[in-house]
């Protein structure tokens, strides 16, 4: 899996109620990126799964496919 193909969904982030919630998700994303760059793949994968499974990450490839199909 290429993690660089994913990005933080700012629309989903903006739906959160408080600034603390928004900051926490952004911190998870930042920590995930730092973990990947530091080659701490276990931690990075855990953070990725947390963000992805809760809908905070989008895949560039899926976005491109949806554009083509619409």
Helices 19-37 and 41-53: angle between axes, nearest 10 degrees: 140
Instruction: Identify the residue with better confidence: 5 or 51.
Output: 51
Q: Does this model's pTM top 0.95?
A: no
pLDDT of the residue at 2: 78
| Placement of tokens 């990075």 in the chain | 44
Residue 11 has pLDDT above 80, yes or no: yes
pLDDT-based confidence at residue 1 (cuts at 50, 70, 90): low
Report the alpha-carbon angle 40-41-47, nearest 5: 100
**Nearest partner of 48 among 62, 59, 63, judged by Cα:** 59
Residue 15: both structure tokens together = 């739906």
Q: What is the mean pLDDT of residues 20-36?
A: 96
Q: Which two tokens stand for residue 22?
A: 């928004």
């Amino acid at each position: 899996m290429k993690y660089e193909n994913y990005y933080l969904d700012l629309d989903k982030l903006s739906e959160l109620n408080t600034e603390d919630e928004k900051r926490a998700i952004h911190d998870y994303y930042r920590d995930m990126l730092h973990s990947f760059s530091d080659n701490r793949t276990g931690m990075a994968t855990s953070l990725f799964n947390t963000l992805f499974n809760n809908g905070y990450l989008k895949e560039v490839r899926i976005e491109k496919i949806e554009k083509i199909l619409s």
